[in-house]
């Protein structure tokens, strides 16, 4: 990597000191900049700018460095700026073109394993837009780590256990319903109705608890109803995942951890990680030196039933034990309302098991998405069906396409717009979904990037058999250089993927692609591509730009279209 050549030269020339090499804030200040002179000036008690001039004279003597660097200058209070040679940028463009869909890959996670948990819908409840954020962000994180050199797997942690199933079983038994003839919507309505009735008839809550207790104990009637609810739900969920382009290598419901939980409870008691609370409930306290640093968590209720906390600990135990799940990093993409819960789960795991201390647990918490300012709630019956959003996305996309597009292309544009509108924001941000914002043809939006990609395809389509044979001694003009530098140094070197993956932040991919698209449009508006002396070079810039946008959108889980 070019950045590493600069860092290594500084380290070898001046010894190992704490310095940075980054892109300067203004592109006219060079491709890379280091604060080495200011760091050393503080240590040596010298003027940083004067010291910077001394350091530059020494760096200029490094033959390996000067193979890639055109010039080095001191700027401002003592920053040292580097301009990369045009020849190196052109070689980088050629290399990216040859890598095709892997033109933006990094290898910083080579040899590591990552597991991403996301989506996690609840059985017997509609797949609402409340799960959209987790599914879209989680899939993007999964894709990012695949492009980072890691061995990656994913897990759809299905909500198929808990007291809500007591309500559903009790309601189905009360009305003697045939689950296999019901839809997920009908199952959800049954749950909503039962919840509403509890407010008027509190004893129904005891019926629900009794039904769930029977389910946990293996009652055949309760188990049959529960299994049929799973079958009906998964059939609908699988169709949604097909439309979203999401596939899971593991889909483990909470119920799978049922047999593991008694052992964990016993272990927690024997190690005194858990203690008995009021009325027989088991509690995990988080204390240090007699002071509580986090609220306690309930491991087992007084009636003997388990909790989300118990099941999530069992999930970790299974993942630590099984080779195909065991990883170096475990990423949980779950709503921000679960932040305390996961802090408790991760901390309890480390209190219980030494191997849990050797891995990284990361909760990527997404904020709340509202429609028209309204929060969605299954319990209140105010959810919006995700399939309705997907259908409307395609219909809305037809209205913005300049040329006639197929229904399939319209759905790709519309669904891509919904996904991009989600991913362009930092996950923890709350936002209100607006169609006009998601489908805008201007600014940082999915349709805008689709349009730029289609534009690159249109240019290349005029010369389908053009061979891109560019001489390395070609000099780049300002527009060509800015575009080439952005492509090679911020994307082709793996920087975009590495930064987004390390920060669990797909929005950094969106921002980089958006700025690339702006630079490309500026380059194309000011520079003729076909029929000029620089045609081959400029076609290479067009081709790599299109390749990067297509590959970058694919990392975000978005398919491109060929016409718009």
Per-residue pLDDT reduced to its tens digit, 372-386: 776 655 455 455 666
Q: Which of 501, 474, 492, 503 is nearest to 547 (CA)?
A: 492
What distances in angstroms separate CA 253 from CA 157, 230, 312, 555, one per listed residue? 6, 10, 11, 27
For 460-493, the pLDDT digits (tens) are: 987 766 666 666 678 899 999 999 999 999 999 9
Strands 32-34 and 282-288: unpaired
pLDDT, residue 216, reads 85
Render pLDDT for 242-285 as a digit per residue (tens, 0 to 9).
989 999 999 999 899 989 999 999 999 999 999 998 788 999 99
Answer with the residue of higher pLDDT: 299 or 130. Answer: 299
**What would the pLDDT profile of 304-323 be if each residue is shown by its tens digit?**
888 999 999 999 999 999 99
| Residue 396 pLDDT class (50, 70, 90 cuts) | confident
pLDDT, average across residues 89-116: 96
Q: Which two tokens stand for residue 21?
A: 């090499």
Task: Compute the distance between CA of residue 455 and CA of residue 459 in angstroms, rounded to an integer.
Answer: 6
The percent of residues above 70 in pLDDT, for the chain, comes to 94
Q: What pLDDT does residue 464 have?
A: 67
Report how far residue 23's alpha carbon sits from residue 1's, in angstroms, rounded to the nearest whole number. Answer: 14
**pLDDT given at position 16:** 74
Q: Which residues contact 179 (CB under 8 A, 6 or more apart)?
A: 172, 187, 225, 228, 229, 232
Question: If DSSP codes are grouped into helix, strand and coil, which group holds residue 519?
Answer: helix
Q: What residue has token string 């990067």?
A: 548
State the pLDDT at residue 401. 64
Query: Which sequence spans correspond to the domains of the chain?
Result: 2-84, 157-247, 251-312
Summarised one tens digit per residue, pLDDT across range 88-98 is 999 999 999 99
Whether the pLDDT of residue 408 is over 90: the answer is: no
**Average pLDDT of the residues of the chain:** 91
Render pLDDT for 226-242 as a digit per residue (tens, 0 to 9): 999 999 999 999 998 99
Best CA proximity match to 283, nearest among 222, 88, 294: 294
H-assigned helices in 322-406: 339-352, 386-400
pLDDT value for 374: 66
CA distances from 50 to 17, 107, 473 (A): 19, 38, 34
264 within 8 A of 314, measured Cβ to Cβ:
yes
CATH topology of domain 2-84: Gyrase A; domain 2 (3.30.1360)
Predicted pLDDT of residue 163: 82
Radius of gyration, alpha carbons of the chain:
28
- Is the pLDDT at 522 greater than 90? The verdict is yes
Burial class (CB in 10 A: 0-12, 13-18, 19+), 194: buried
pLDDT of residue 162: 81
């Amino acid at each position: 990597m070019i950045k590493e050549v600069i860092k290594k030269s500084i380290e070898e020339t001046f010894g190992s000191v704490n310095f940075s090499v980054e892109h300067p804030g203004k592109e006219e200040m060079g491709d890379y900049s280091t604060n080495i002179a200011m760091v050393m000036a503080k240590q040596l008690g010298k003027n940083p700018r004067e010291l910077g001039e001394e350091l530059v004279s020494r760096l200029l003597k490094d033959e390996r460095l000067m193979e890639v660097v055109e010039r080095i200058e001191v700027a401002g209070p003592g920053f040292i700026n580097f301009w990369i040679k045009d020849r190196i940028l052109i070689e980088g463009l050629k290399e990216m073109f040859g890598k095709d869909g892997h033109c933006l890959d990094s290898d910083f996670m080579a040899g590591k394993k990552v597991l991403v948990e996301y989506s996690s819908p609840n059985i017997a409840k509609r797949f609402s837009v409340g799960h959209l954020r987790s599914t879209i962000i989680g899939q993007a994180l999964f894709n990012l780590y695949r492009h980072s050199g890691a061995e990656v797997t994913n897990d759809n942690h299905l909500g198929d256990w808990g007291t809500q199933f007591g309500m559903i079983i009790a309601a189905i038994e009360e009305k003697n319903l045939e689950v296999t003839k019901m839809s997920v919507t009908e199952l959800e309505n049954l749950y909503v109705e039962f919840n509403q009735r509890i407010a008027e008839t509190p004893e129904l809550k005891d019926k629900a608890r009794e039904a769930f207790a029977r389910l946990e104990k293996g009652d055949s009637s309760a188990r049959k109803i529960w299994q049929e609810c799973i079958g009906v739900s998964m059939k609908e969920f699988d169709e949604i995942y097909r439309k979203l382009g999401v596939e899971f290598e593991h889909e483990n419901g909470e119920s799978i951890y049922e047999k593991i939980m008694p052992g964990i409870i016993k272990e927690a008691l024997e190690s005194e990680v858990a203690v008995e609370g009021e009325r027989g409930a088991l509690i995990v306290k988080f204390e240090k030196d007699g002071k509580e640093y986090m609220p306690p968590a309930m491991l087992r209720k007084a009636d003997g039933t388990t909790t989300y906390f118990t099941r999530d600990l069992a999930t970790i135990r299974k993942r630590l034990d099984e080779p195909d799940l065991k990883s170096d990093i475990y990423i949980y993409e779950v709503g921000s309302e679960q932040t305390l819960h996961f802090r408790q789960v991760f901390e309890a795991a480390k209190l219980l098991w030494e191997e849990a201390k050797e891995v990284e647990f990361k909760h990527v918490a997404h904020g709340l998405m509202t429609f028209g300012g309204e929060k969605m709630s299954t319990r209140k019956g105010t959810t919006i069906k995700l399939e309705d959003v997907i259908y409307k996305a395609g219909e809305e996309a037809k209205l913005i396409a300049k040329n006639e597009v197929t229904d399939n292309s319209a759905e790709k544009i519309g669904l891509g717009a919904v996904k991009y509108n989600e991913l362009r924001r930092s996950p923890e941000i709350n936002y209100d979904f607006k169609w006009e914002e998601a489908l805008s043809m201007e600014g940082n939006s999915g349709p805008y990037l689709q349009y730029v990609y289609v534009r690159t395809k249109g240019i290349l389509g005029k010369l389908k058999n053009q061979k891109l044979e560019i001489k390395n001694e070609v000099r780049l003009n300002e527009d060509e250089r800015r575009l080439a530098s952005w492509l090679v140094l911020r994307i082709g070197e793996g920087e975009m993927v590495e930064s987004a993956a390390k920060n669990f932040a797909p929005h950094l991919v969106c921002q980089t692609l958006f700025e690339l698209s702006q630079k490309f449009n500026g380059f194309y508006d000011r520079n003729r591509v076909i029929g000029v002396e620089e045609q081959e070079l400029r076609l290479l810039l067009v081709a790599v730009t299109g390749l990067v946008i297509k590959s970058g959108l694919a990392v975000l889980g978005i398919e491109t279209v060929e016409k718009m």
